[in-house]
Amino acid sequence: MQGGAGVGRAVVVGVVAWMLAMSACGGELAPDVKAGRRAQGAIATLRMRLRQRLQAALAEGGPSAAVSVCATEAPMLRDVVERDTGVRLGRASLRRRNPEPSAPPWVADWIAAQGERPVAGVTGLVETHAGAVRVLEPIGVEPVCVMCHGARPGDSLPAEAVTMDPAVAAALGQHYPADAATGYAVGDLRGAFWAEADY
């Protein structure tokens, strides 16, 4: 799951300012502005569809069901949005749950530069490069996220850390044998949504 409403607003404000600066006054939008809108729209669509599907799974079967959705349906949701929009996109993190697909180098560089830190104050990225617009939006850890991204049973973490249910830990082990995307606390930076749209 993703969070950081303030971060999201800052990203939107930055993107709107960029689009206004890049567009011609009163005329047809420039190709890079159109591409930027497509990239931002693709991220928004993927974010919304993932959130809706995970909320439904949580309501129907709890956190273990949500783990199954992430493992089996999230990649398909991404593929559908890519196909429908013509935008390359995904999610990335320093602590990866899925070994594949890996993020493009520009995303990996941004993630590495941020490091392990709170999401507060983290801004996204909008830039043009080699005929494409790149958009990146931070993912912050919300309270619901720690059910599957919190501490594993037996981890030595601060007393306030949320420890996931053993059944969830078992489901993660089944679907993600090399899972590293745990040990987060509410308010941490967990990674980013990224998108590239050609123009």
Cα distances (angstroms) measured from residue 60 to each of 57, 72, 85, 167: 5, 16, 30, 16
- What is the strand order of the sheet 88-92 is part of? 88-92, 189-198, 132-140, 125-129
Mind listing the pLDDT tens digit for each residue in 44-88?
A: 999 999 999 999 999 999 999 999 999 999 999 999 999 999 999
pTM assigned to the model: 0.82
pLDDT at 2: 47
pLDDT at 140: 96
Contacts for 83 with CB less than 8 Å, ≥ 6 apart: none
- Residue 85 CA to residue 41 CA, distance in Å, equals 9
